[in-house]
Chains A and B, each alone.
Chain A
Amino acid sequence: MSTTAQQPDRETRTWTRPPLIKDPRKRAALYIGIVAYLFWSLSSIEVDIPRLLEGLERASEFFAAALQPDFLTRRVDIWQGFLESSTMTAVATTVGVALSVPLGLGAASNLSARPVYLICRAILAITRAFHGIILAILFVAMFGFGPFAGVVTLVVSTIGFLGKLIAEEIEAIDWTCVEAVESTGASWWQKVVYGVAPQIMPRFIGLTLYRLDINFRESAIIGIVGAGGIGATLITAFYRYEFDSVAAILLLIIGAVYAFEYLSGAIRRRVL
């Protein structure tokens, strides 16, 4: 049928994928620049062998202590720290989810009017602009030491995380079912409840459980800068060189994270 098939040698055409940067000189300059930067940054780190050895020594001390974790000496502090972290996690996740749902709906471009969309996106962008630690330092400065600053930190991080992912999930749903719901004369909120919510529900539950888990681990970290919880207990033990208590706390955190993992797996299996 086709003429080229009968005369294959008439013209051999080659093809390569068009490069991202067309100008070969610019491309070479970019590659050389990247390599040079990597070398420069490696040399600027100042690898100091004696200090490295010293550190290893201290590490071995620490690991030795870790082999005999001491759960008992500081058991009251540890218990209180855990309780505080758990409370912080539960409160922050609940409040964070409650706030991120409306923001997520507002930040979905297919669902919300342009001005609402822009405002919600801006709020979400601000909440994600800083890492949890920075937020914690800020809120500790604002509200003083203790779990309240920690809860506010976790709420803000939760909003940034969940709000954005919910919005993106909504933007990817099958729109024809939403139109079908709309064409029955449904209001905007009914459209959300019948057309949007069922489609994002599995992902939403999964993300919420995942965030619960993140919030617990985060609560251990932000405690280090004074925002309460098990992190505060941990850093106190570090400062007192009570590595056996430190090891006990770390083991408990690992155990808790595993428990969450198991729990959320079980919940997810049920609802999906």
Chain B
Amino acid sequence: MLEIKGLLKRYPDGFEALKDVTVTIGDGELVALIGPSGAGKSTLIRCVNRLVEPTQGSIKLGDTEITSLNRAGLRKARRRMAMIFQSYALVDRLTVMENVLSGRLGYLGFWPSLLRKFPQKDIDRAFALLEEVGLEGLHDRRADALSGGQQQRVGIARALMQEPDLLLVDEPTASLDPRTARQVMQLLADLCAEHGLAAIINIHDVPLAREYTDRILGLNAGKLVFDGPPEELTDEVLPEIYGGEDWSKKEEDKKKDDDKDIRSSGQFVVEEIL
């Protein structure tokens, strides 16, 4: 259903975030994309819906070549792939309902969308989806009056509103507490199974990836270095994806490493203070 061939992304500053990525994802397949920070995970899924313009290579969704689409064609193709964001990316000042209905914008003309005149069928679907993600009765709340977990559920409902074939999910759980994170992953897995969707899920939490997905892709420095079922993702393979040898180290060693990390991440601390 999604076929990526020889994908290369070079940012304007010359940095190559993706180098020759080739991968095929089947119908209804639930795929986790893991890799260290800066590996190019976000870049990869953003190339698929062209929020980031690929530099080279081919991306095919079904029979449609995404990379060569014009504006109108891209608009149509984007309806079939919905994105879910780490920071939820809801429009704060709009209501939950408006946020969910905005998933239909690709199907709607300008004037009806300006006047919020959505077809009854869309409104019915929005209510049904809100129920499905466990937000019954919250449709008139402003989006910024929800908790993080609830906001992510709105994000999921908005994505499903598009009636997509593919979900592009960028770190859905990174801002959530461990329990809510599990619930959200469970919800995603259930919904994908129920609606027959394929999904690419960027995730930093390896145990969650192992538990909820069928297949894991490992990305390091813009290259695909692992592709296999969760069982094959052993502690021996992890260093290949994340780099370094300190994965299987004992507890005592770990503490020293933490100190080292704190010093090497000093730059981030400074940035935060500023």
Contacts and interface: CB of A to CB of B under 8 A. Distances in A.
A207 to B, nearest CB: 16
Interface string B85-97: 1010111111000
B162 A177 contact: no
B133 interface: no
Interface in A130-189: 176-177, 179-187, 189
A193 interface: yes
A193 B113 contact: yes
A185 B83 contact: no
User: Of residues A182, A185, A187, A190, which shows the largest number of chain B Cβ atoms within 10 Å of its Cβ?
Assistant: A185
B32 interface: no
A179 B89 contact: yes
Given A1-B259, A194-B94, A199-B91, A184 B110 contact: no
B186 to A, nearest CB: 23
Main SS of the interface on chain B?
A: helix
Given A176-B89, A190-B113, A198-B93, A181 B51 contact: no
Contact of A184 (B82, B87, B94): B82
Contacts of B49: 183
A177 B90 contact: yes
A102 B24 CA distance: 43
B104 A201 contact: no
B114 interface: yes
B89 to A, nearest CB: 4
A195 interface: yes
A198 B259 CA distance: 45
Contacts of A179: 51, 83, 85, 89
B78 A198 contact: no
Contacts of A182: 51, 78
A187 B110 contact: yes
Contact of A185 (B75, B91, B94, B98): B75
A184 B105 contact: yes
B103 interface: yes
Given A183-B49, A185-B162, A194 B91 contact: yes
B106 A180 contact: no
Interface string B60-96: 0000000000000001111101110101011111100
Nearest to A202: B93
Interface in B106-145: 106-108, 110, 113-114
Contact of A194 (B76, B81, B102, B259): B102
A63 B60 CA distance: 81
A198 B91 contact: yes
A53 to B, nearest CB: 56
A202 B92 CA distance: 12
A184 B95 CA distance: 17
B92 A184 contact: no
Contacts of B90: 177, 180
A161 to B, nearest CB: 24
Q: Secondary structure at chain A's binding surface: helix, strand, loop or mixed?
A: helix
A43 B78 CA distance: 70
B94 A181 contact: no
B41 interface: no
Contacts of B102: 181, 184, 186, 194
A110 to B, nearest CB: 13
A240 B79 CA distance: 72
Given A184-B102, A185-B106, A194-B105, A177 B79 contact: no
A183 B76 CA distance: 10
A199 B76 CA distance: 26
Contacts of A181: 91, 102, 105
Contact of B85 (A1, A180, A195, A199): A180
Contacts of B103: 184
Given A176-B85, A184-B104, A193 B114 contact: yes
Nearest to B107: A185
Interface in A1-19: 1
Contact of A190 (B79, B82, B105, B161): B105
Given A183-B49, A184-B82, A201 B93 contact: yes
Nearest to A272: B93
Given A183-B81, A184-B158, A187-B75, 18 more contacts: A177-B89, A177-B92, A179-B83, A179-B85, A180-B90, A184-B79, A184-B82, A184-B106, A185-B76, A185-B79, A186-B75, A186-B102, A186-B105, A189-B110, A193-B110, A194-B94, A194-B113, A199-B91
5 contacts: A181-B102, A185-B76, A194-B98, A198-B91, A202-B93
Interface of B: 49, 51, 75-79, 81-83, 85, 87, 89-94, 98, 102-108, 110, 113-114, 155, 158, 161-162, 168, 259
